Structure 1
């Protein structure tokens, strides 16, 4: 592990000297473990009882049954277990203005491309109402990296660290019309009536309780569609969180990210093209860490103050907490 981290730091230093287009922290991959909100793992439910309560409310999909059953092995036999639920810090998302700027890894390869730069909705751009970011999605199994609970069957992310997705090479990410190929239902939800329904989701998201039935809403962050790097310009830090959540939904639609919450996932993860917003929490870690996570859609007035430091260069990194419900025995 030390050798791998050493290579990351070395590459970061070389890249900074060679290009220097984005400003990142070469030790960010280690700093993430120090700044992570460990309390955001809670609440932990065992047999339907919240044994450890946290500062954030649980997902409405929490299992309230004392026992569970799973095929073992299917189809003739079953096993009986105890439902366990918690939020696992297992993914990381970069949201970057500079293409190939890996803020979460502390590596700067932005000089490899002079195109695909993000845009900010201001007087210097053609569209003053839209902001665009690229994004990177990492498998970041915190528990495995620090050696915690590695033998537990309820730790779903045990495949090691990996860069799992980069939008710079995805033609659907920077074109709203082309992106509609994987979300044609956007035509049904981009109207004033459905947007009015998002008011209820916006209110609920302030208490970190986004409404899963309103899957086309991102609370105070606007409409979930299109599933691209574009978002309505509001607060620039809040815009980055909006794009991070769009990537989560997009990866669900592309079956890259699987559902691990609710009764349907007790015996294992499964594809789910419509996301469960309440199953995710985001914690801003770069350029300046926020002490806690927030649910999808919480207004930036609560958590974005003094977060977009000049040193970050409009590039951000979020730790993604993913709700896990499993049948342990």
Structure 2
């Protein structure tokens, strides 16, 4: 009896699930991500090995490196002595979408179990007292080098595969500002004009070089990190979605799901950062239109966003369904074990 029920359940899933995906695909369809052409590969530069920097990049050589040589403890080899290495690593993908369960990186979507629920919105001042936007977000592991089988013997690069690690449609704290207070109670301290005026300096710094890390509540010209939800007091689609991608990083760090690889070169897995170190991350727009630069958090959209959200398109490539390639600082110690 149990075996018969299992067979019937499998047959039902085989019939119903493709139908659900087919129905969703009529609404959300597009071109799946191509890691060769859709990623800005020059964003891995500049890099540093020892005291030598190479490659043209938008900012100085990355990472918290103070000496060209390094000595680190190792659980297997006792001690590792070698050269300090730093570079920008293509490691994650983040989607910010107006259509729930739409996955631009896959070029398809899933059927919304509650049609219309948690859908993205964007209202300008003409529709309410203040501009307001809301989007859903998806977070993927995407170690590009490993996926393309490049530098497999390089100990600093993350090894692994593509995977959906987080989606906000099933996270009530992303969809409710009041519930998000559980993980960001300090938001009350920065809900005042003085704290927000300080973000002007962060915006200027992000425009010229890198954002100011001590101003951790600021996202430069993209607004404030708080609350850690999908709601933003703005209606500019590029700034809103870039800001939500950055918020996703902050939120995952607060939940101990994000490890910063640009802080400690002796920690290969990274360091948990409840307060995001903004300068260790950059974002490149890949959908609806591919960008050619990786921008620090808070850089004004007028610099990099021209023509990146056209009013035409369909499904995953439609306006306000965005895909962002995240590069992060990676520092490590490459050498030999000393037992």
TM-score (norm 1): 0.88
The Cα offsets for residues 270-318 of structure 1, whole Å up to 9 and x where unpaired, read as 2111111111111111111111111100101112222213211421100
Rg comparison, structure with higher value: 2
The answer on whether the counterparts of 2:62 and 2:88 sit within 8 Å (CA) in structure 1 is: no
Of 314, 318, 327, the residue aligned with 2:320 is 314
Pairing of 1:272-283 with structure 2 (within 5 A): 272-283=273-284
How much does 1:237 deviate? 1.7
Aligned partners of 1:14, 1:127: CA distance in 2, in Å? 42
How much does 1:262 deviate? 2.3
Partner SS, residue 91 of structure 2: strand
Show the counterpart of 1:99.
Answer: 100
How much does 1:159 deviate? 2.2
The answer on whether the counterparts of 1:68 and 1:327 sit within 8 Å (CA) in structure 2 is: yes
The Cα offsets for residues 6-42 of structure 1, whole Å up to 9 and x where unpaired, read as xxxxxxx9777523564442x3222x43121111000
Partner SS, residue 239 of structure 1: helix
The Cα offsets for residues 96-146 of structure 1, whole Å up to 9 and x where unpaired, read as 001000011112215444111011023685564211100000001110111
Show the counterpart of 1:142.
Answer: 144
Show the counterpart of 1:19.
Answer: 24
Aligned partners of 1:116, 1:48: CA distance in 2, in Å? 50
The answer on whether the counterparts of 2:180 and 2:229 sit within 8 Å (CA) in structure 1 is: yes
Which stretches in structure 2 are left out of the alignment for 5+ residues? 1-17
The answer on whether the counterparts of 2:156 and 2:268 sit within 8 Å (CA) in structure 1 is: no
The answer on whether the counterparts of 1:83 and 1:266 sit within 8 Å (CA) in structure 2 is: no
The answer on whether the counterparts of 2:253 and 2:259 sit within 8 Å (CA) in structure 1 is: yes
Q: CA-atom RMSD, angstroms?
A: 2.3
How much does 1:82 deviate? 1.2
Aligned partners of 2:267, 2:52: CA distance in 1, in Å? 16
Partner SS, residue 87 of structure 2: strand
Aligned partners of 1:213, 1:105: CA distance in 2, in Å? 37
Show the counterpart of 1:224.
Answer: 225
Show the counterpart of 2:41.
Answer: 38
How much does 1:63 deviate? 1.1
Aligned partners of 2:71, 2:19: CA distance in 1, in Å? 53
Report whether the alignment pairs 1:72 with 2:74. yes
Pairing of 1:213-292 with structure 2 (within 5 A): 213-263=214-264, 266-292=267-293
Distance 1:126 1:199, change over 3 A: closer
Show the counterpart of 2:32.
Answer: 28
Show the counterpart of 1:203.
Answer: 204
